[in-house]
Amino acid sequence: MEFKSRILSNGLSVIGEVNKSAKSAAVGFFVKTGSRDESKEINGVSHFLEHMLFKGTPKLSALQVNEAFDRTGAQFNAFTSEENTVFYAAVLPEYLAEVTGIWTELMRPALRDADFDIEKNVIKEEIAMYKDMPQFDVVDRCRTLHFDGHPCGNSVLGSVENIDALTAVQMREYFGSRYAPNNLTVVFTGNFDWEKICSLMEAGGGKWWGESAPRQHSDCSPSKRQERIDKGNLVREHICLMSPGVSAQDDRRFAAALLANIVGDDVGSRYFWELVDKALAESAVMQFEAMDGMGLFCSYIRCGTRNLSQVLETVAGVFADIAKKGIAEDELAKARNKALSALVIKNELPMGRLIDVGFNWVYLGRHRRIEEDMNAVKAVTIDDVRSLIDDYKPGEFTQFSIGPCKSDQG
């Protein structure tokens, strides 16, 4: 693989990892904006804009956009997170230039009032859909509780009240400031012609005007509070636990990912053997999320309400044990092999490689080869994990639960 990069005069970053042996190619537009960049008044606007880009440009209708992608056979989509909005496509190499041209046009959308008014209802339906999924709702609520007023606690979707109050003018103002070329990275992976792609981006994105698009990095103290709400028609308890972790810029992120695997992988972890295998919970997982300037350990557990006390006691025991004794060498070895397998399998395809290449550039400002990440995983020691446990104390967490109403519990 051969890495390429070019920064256009307006600040737009164009990077590529060329693999001439690949049978496909992928392109992604990484916008460094998400719910943490929103004020409370416009919370949800980043995700709203993701939808609005598919509504077309002054020259293309929504139907024409879908037809344009459809005729290339591209697998395309987008997602919005707390920190990024990413638009991507995987395609046969001969159609990469055409698909890139479509995305480049869409990065300067029409943002029509009529489309905005219609899409409000779509967004509200999506919010309602996720509210009906307690496994998602509990994580969203726990995040808000954990960050305790910090922008990182903003919901990606926003609330129905926020979406109702949002105006098209507010959306356009946010777009103008956040979708600036100097806040965008365009990534290409797989089999493609670098010079041809650069010429295409110069002709399209090179005309965009730059804007100041800062991100606030204020300190955040986790709340460590515990809250629970009743919800009718539920028959299971849904629990989310959150504690601080290292940032995406911290080399200890590899140790943090292995620690999360040891504690809460869905097979063979401490949670699995202590909770799932013993039939105390039907699901118990822990993940690590590396963020810009900070990080997060997040656990999700689903169990019967009558098991709740025992489940929480068991979880406390798991964290007390790793705090006292650390982890075992065989646990680290298994977690390391799982991480390496996932990394290699994901990165075998240009589409999988696209996300890692893009986020390494967004967060680190540099290219990392697969071998670098593999070596970083292999280099993690028991002492590294021990130090992480001592410094971040994952057993001291914020807790949010959603469960059946007490009157429904018999």
Please determine, for residue 409, whether its predicted confidence score (pLDDT) is greater than 60: no
pLDDT of residue 407: 60
Please determine, for residue 410, whether its predicted confidence score (pLDDT) is greater than 50: no
Residues 188 and 52 in one domain: yes
Q: What is the pTM of this model?
A: 0.95
Rounded Cα gap, residues 49 and 109, in angstroms: 10
Across the range 332-353, mean pLDDT stands at 97
pLDDT tens digits for range 205-215: 999 988 888 88
Higher pLDDT, residue 122 or 405: 122
In a domain, 286, yes or no: yes
Please determine, for residue 385, whether its predicted confidence score (pLDDT) is greater than 50: yes
| β-bridge partners, 27 | 89, 188
In a domain, 401, yes or no: yes
Residue-averaged pLDDT of the chain: 96
Residues 177 and 66 in one domain: yes
Q: Which of 253, 261, 283, 248 has the alpha carbon at shortest distance from 341?
A: 261
Residues 156 and 280 in one domain: no
Residue with tokens 């806040």: 183
In a domain, 216, yes or no: no
Buried b (16+ CB within 10 A) or exposed e, 118-150: ebbeebbeebeebeeebeebbbbbbbbbbbeeb
Across the range 376-390, mean pLDDT stands at 98
Residues 162 and 304 in one domain: no
Range of the domain at 62: 2-207
Residues 391 and 270 in one domain: yes
Domain's final residue, options 151, 175, 207: 207
Residues 244 and 185 in one domain: no
Task: Please give the share of the chain, as a percent, with pLDDT higher than 90.
Answer: 95
Token pair, residue 224, equals 């460590």
Residues 278 and 356 in one domain: yes
* Helix, strand, coil shares, percent, the chain, to 5: 50, 20, 30
In a domain, 62, yes or no: yes
Residues 259 and 126 in one domain: no
Token pair, residue 321, equals 């044990």
Across the range 225-243, mean pLDDT stands at 95
pLDDT tens digits for range 46-74: 999 999 999 999 999 999 999 999 999 99
Residues 239 and 317 in one domain: yes
Residues 162 and 298 in one domain: no
152's CB contacts (< 8 A; 6+ apart) are 36, 82, 143, 220, 291, 294
Per-position DSSP letters for 249-264, written without gaps between them: T-TTHHHHHHHHHHHH
Torsion of CA 278, 282, 286, 289, to 10 degrees: 170
In a domain, 221, yes or no: no
Across the range 2-26, mean pLDDT stands at 97
Task: Please give the share of the chain, as a percent, with pLDDT higher than 70.
Answer: 99
In a domain, 199, yes or no: yes
Residues 71 and 29 in one domain: yes
For residue 157, give the CATH number of its domain.
Answer: 3.30.830.10
Q: Which of 137, 190, 157 has the alpha carbon at shortest distance from 38?
A: 157
In a domain, 215, yes or no: no
In a domain, 218, yes or no: no
For residue 190, give the 3-state DSSP assignment. strand
Across the range 96-121, mean pLDDT stands at 97
**Number of structural domains in the chain:** 2
Residues 236 and 202 in one domain: no
Higher pLDDT, residue 180 or 408: 180
Domain's final residue, options 143, 176, 207: 207
